[in-house]
Amino acid sequence: MINTITIFQVISAIILTILVLMQSSSGGLSDVFGGGGGSGAFRTKRGMEKKLFTLTIIFAIIFIGLSIANILVQA
């Protein structure tokens, strides 16, 4: 049982990493600190970008759930 949860946790971690890396970033860390130099307007996610964002959130929830399940099974 522990091995099965661990295997699914590793698979979900790999998929989550790939999903995060696939998301486009416009300015890197400069946007975080206010030096993006863009128009300052927020844009909405559309199409594939929105689906990728939603899938990333779903896999993050799956990963957290598997992590908690792994802790509970080992205790």
The full DSSP string for 9-31 is: HHHHHHHHHHHHHHS--SSTHHH
35 lies in some domain: no
31 lies in some domain: no
- Residues 24-69 have pLDDT tens digits of 765 555 555 655 555 556 677 788 889 999 999 999 999 999 999 9
Q: Note whether 19 and 52 are within 8 A (CB).
A: yes
Domain count, the chain: 1
11 versus 48: the higher-pLDDT residue is: 11
33 lies in some domain: no
Which tokens is 7 given?
A: 């295997």
44 versus 7: the higher-pLDDT residue is: 7
Which tokens is 64 given?
A: 């957290």
69 lies in some domain: yes
Q: Note whether 60 and 16 are within 8 A (CB).
A: yes
Q: What is the pTM of this model?
A: 0.73
12 lies in some domain: yes
Those residues whose C-beta lies under 8 Å from the C-beta of residue 55, and which sit 6 or more positions away, are 19
Domain ranges, residue 64: 2-24+44-74
